[in-house]
Chain A
Amino acid sequence: GQQLNQSPQSMFIQEGEDVSMNCTSSSIFNTWLWYKQEPGEGPVLLIALYKAGELTSNGRLTAQFGITRKDSFLNISASIPSDVGIYFCAGQLWDYGGSQGNLIFGKGTKLSVKP
């Protein structure tokens, strides 16, 4: 199935460092989402972006919806050990005609944080 291009694939960082990851697509989306997944659990929504150019923060997390509608990035500032997990971007294409609204996911960025 279709997946987005997400990078980097993995990151090993020191506690307190900032983290940046991004996602690109050949298709445009109406909505970009960032999820975090921990082992044995389903993805948990971190940030949702609805407008091209939108910059949204959620605590130490900041994400932007690219102006071309084909990319997005997520930054995590001052990382802490509980930030460990796999971060997924997802794009959603919907219209007022009632399209299905399913999400297209990236392959994930595995984040490891050294105390």
Chain B
Amino acid sequence: DTGVSQNPRHKITKRGQNVTFRCDPISEHNRLYWYRQTLGQGPEFLTYFQNEAQLEKSRLLSDRFSAERPKGSFSTLEIQRTEQGDSAMYLCASSYGQGADGYTFGSGTRLTVV
């Protein structure tokens, strides 16, 4: 098991373009979370899946953001019509159930919108 994998690690895009990130969780983990982290801040919760069902979305997740987890395995986070304020580190985490000690983060995708 190689932990939580996120791709790409870095993405530079022009304002107005769409971007998609991928997260591959630890294989036996049924829960998958997306967080956003801006400079000087802690990660902030965006959304989470239990298996393939998206069960919670933060108010930070505007209608330009959409996340999917087909078949309850990998997940994608898409941002449409990117804005400069979307520049951040997007972190994915997975866990089995609610247990915090198995709550593992990926290395993140750094998005820069120019």
Interface residues of A (CB under 8 A from B): 1, 3-4, 6, 31, 33, 35, 40-45, 48, 50, 88, 90, 92, 94, 98-108
Contacts and interface: CB of A to CB of B under 8 A. Distances in A.
Contacts of B103: 33, 45, 103
17 contacts: A1-B59, A4-B42, A40-B108, A41-B108, A42-B6, A42-B93, A43-B105, A48-B101, A94-B98, A100-B48, A100-B55, A101-B31, A103-B43, A103-B45, A103-B100, A107-B40, A107-B41
B100 A92 contact: yes
7 pairs of A and B residues whose beta carbons are closest in the complex:
A105-B42, A42-B105, A102-B45, A101-B98, A100-B56, A1-B44, A94-B98
Nearest to A99: B98
B2 to A, nearest CB: 13
B43 A45 contact: no
B56 A102 contact: yes
A92 B4 CA distance: 20
Given A1-B58, A92-B98, A103-B45, 9 more contacts: A40-B108, A42-B106, A43-B43, A45-B103, A92-B100, A103-B103, A105-B44, A106-B42, A108-B40
B107 A42 contact: yes
A33 B108 contact: no
Given A1-B45, A3-B41, A42 B56 contact: no
Given A48-B101, A100-B48, A103-B45, A1 B60 contact: yes
B112 to A, nearest CB: 13
Contacts of A48: 100-101
B91 A42 contact: yes
